[in-house]
């Protein structure tokens, strides 16, 4: 994954620490300033797979994205106000890539149970759920 630092800024619009914590060893997070380095990177990348200017992109393990750039979605951010959105998008992309490549398999933990409840409200990007037995969880 490449997360760029926009010209004139000292930090990226996405949160690299949160991304690294969420994806662990499943993806390497590379920070790249929008500078001569990003323009050199852009020149050697296949058409429509570049990233610069505060945007981020996950490059999946398989190379299907080379001929189908839609497999490596460009995630835009215009300011630090976009931090949560671009961070969440890049985490999602980074977690989906190894599953799509067959490197990890989705599975439930032993003892996982199906539960029913009702969403009672939204807290940030999570929903507060009250289950039939009145226990509470966030999803």
Q: Are residues 117 and 91 in the same domain?
A: no
Model confidence over 101-136: pLDDT tens digits? 778 776 666 666 778 888 888 876 778 788 888 777
**Based on the domain organization, do 84 and 113 belong to the same domain?**
no
pTM of this structure: 0.76
Same domain, 54 and 81: yes
In the block, tokens 């800024």 appear at 9
Structural domains of the chain, count: 2
Q: Which domain holds residue 68?
A: 2-100
Together in a domain, 113 and 138: yes
Do 96 and 64 fall within a single domain? yes
Mean pLDDT of 60-73: 93
pLDDT by residue (tens digit) across 73-101?
999 999 999 999 999 999 999 988 888 87
Does residue 49 sit in the same domain as residue 7?
A: yes
**90 and 135 fall within a common domain:** no
Which phi and psi angles does 2 have, rounded to 5°? -120, 125
């Amino acid at each position: 994954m490449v997360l760029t630092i926009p010209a004139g800024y000292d930090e990226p619009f996405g949160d690299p620490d949160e991304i690294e914590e969420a994806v662990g060893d499943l993806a390497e997070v590379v920070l790249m300033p929008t500078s001569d380095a990003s323009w050199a990177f852009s020149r050697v990348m296949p058409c429509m797979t570049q990233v610069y200017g505060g945007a981020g992109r996950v490059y999946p393990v398989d190379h299907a994205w080379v001929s189908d750039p839609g497999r490596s979605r460009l995630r835009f951010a215009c300011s630090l106000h976009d931090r949560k959105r671009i961070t969440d998008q890049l985490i999602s992309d980074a977690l989906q890539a190894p599953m799509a490549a067959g490197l990890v398999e989705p599975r439930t933990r032993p003892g996982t149970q199906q539960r029913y409840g009702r969403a009672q409200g939204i807290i940030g990007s999570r929903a507060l759920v009250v289950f039939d037995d009145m226990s509470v969880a966030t999803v």
